[in-house]
Amino acid sequence: MKNLVFAFTLLATASATPTETSASVAQVAEAPGSQERHAEALLARLREQHGLPALAAVVVSSNVTLDLAVTGLRRQGKPERIEPADRFHLGSMGKAITATVIARLVEEGKLSWTTRPVDLFPELASAVHPGYRDITIEQLLRHDAGTPPYDSTTEIRGAGARAGSGSPRDQRRAFSIWLLQQRPHVTPGTRPEYSNAGYPVAAAMAEAATGETWESLVESRLARPLGINLTYGLPARGDSAQPWGHKPKSAFLGLAISPNAVELQAPKDGWALGVIFEPAGDYSLSLADYAKFLQMHLAGLAGRDGLLKASSIQRLHAGPGEYAMGWFLREFDGTAAHWHTGSIDTFFSRVIMLPERDIAVAVLTNAGSETASTASREAAMELLRLYGPPAAR
């Protein structure tokens, strides 16, 4: 199992059963009536073509949901249909959630963008590795602090062994203190390199600065004021009626298996990302709730204050280079694109935001196969073409 929460390629690359169906909710602003069910038809076609259990998408501008559609099943081979209010696992798309909570704490004066781990963890005063002494919380969120990737099951479980068995807050702190005594993966500030480990350290810093748990900070600084229901871990772990994840089907006795083939993964099968790496991407949300989060960011990028000041949103999305805080930056179709993907091998998610055209598209599925990545890419490209052509926005 590789690249658990953490696939990040913008344009990278079992048949439907009779009980599978689709549902769509659309609030289309200044769009032809034929567009209203376009996402539903597109998703149904791609889901069947790529053999996915379910496929879902939402398209938003900063002030309206342009389209929201879901199609397929909560569990492959079972009759329960996916519903628009169901939750999907965001994977590393959740890094933007973590960065947003940190930005709120900066606005409150609890942290600054230049706060260092050594400023908050007395244990590191004489023990921190010299390479990490001057790293800042902003560098951690920008993948510029030199922390290692932590992109495999082995590394994730190894982190838990380093952190002991205390409370989630204690584990994140213990892991952070241990990590910052090791040699940096790369020299901080010289070459950004994608790292999941930086986000638990940033969250542990927030806990130390406020005296609150990370879960409480997310609820009080983001979820409650934004009016969203955010949960941790796989959607069905605490509610079996929610969508289950599906992983690529393993070969059996050397026989070839279709690349589209997936198999159900029980939500309580013993594997979990764990509390240490929650801030790196272990959030689950409904499409409508994620739409609110995207709209907040689009509005800030357009210069409008909201839950965060516009200047804070703009800092989260700023370069230099391709790494922002919780986002990647690239040109797409002649305009700036802010994007991310996420996967834990049983769910896959993709978001693309075009701020200059005031549009964002998110596509999510409850399968972690390569075909899930392909289907989400094709859906996102088509929805951007439909709702966000250069002349239209």
Q: What is the pLDDT of residues 83-125, one digit of tens each?
A: 999 999 999 999 999 999 999 999 999 999 999 999 999 999 9
Spatial contact of 26 and 331, defined as CB atoms under 8 Å apart: no
Q: What's the rounded Cα separation, in Å, for the pair 348 and 368?
A: 5
Last residue of a domain, one of 170, 198, 221: 221
User: According to the model, what pLDDT value does residue 132 have?
Assistant: 98
User: According to the model, what pLDDT value does residue 250 have?
Assistant: 66
**235 and 340 together in one domain:** yes
Regions of the chain where pLDDT drops below 50:
1-22, 24-35, 252-256, 391-393
Within-domain flag for 15: no
Within-domain flag for 338: yes
Which CATH number covers residue 211? 3.40.710.10
Please give the residue range of the domain that contains residue 136: 96-221
Last residue of a domain, one of 221, 247, 269: 221
User: According to the model, what pLDDT value does residue 215 have?
Assistant: 98
**114 and 129 together in one domain:** yes
Other CB atoms within 10 Å distance of the CB of residue 111: 24
**131 and 249 together in one domain:** no
Q: What is the pTM of this model?
A: 0.90
Can you say whether residue 358 is alpha, beta or left, with left for phi > 0 and alpha for psi between -120 and 50 degrees? left
**76 and 100 together in one domain:** no
Within-domain flag for 339: yes
User: According to the model, what pLDDT value does residue 261 have?
Assistant: 78
Within-domain flag for 131: yes
Q: What's the rounded Cα separation, in Å, for the pair 74 and 19?
A: 11
When divided into structural domains, the chain yields a total of: 2
**90 and 125 together in one domain:** no
**294 and 357 together in one domain:** yes
User: According to the model, what pLDDT value does residue 169 have?
Assistant: 97
Give the chain's radius of gyration (CA, Å). 20
Within-domain flag for 317: yes
- Terminal Cα-to-Cα distance of the chain (whole angstroms): 41
Within-domain flag for 374: yes
Within-domain flag for 138: yes
Within-domain flag for 370: yes
Spatial contact of 339 and 95, defined as CB atoms under 8 Å apart: no
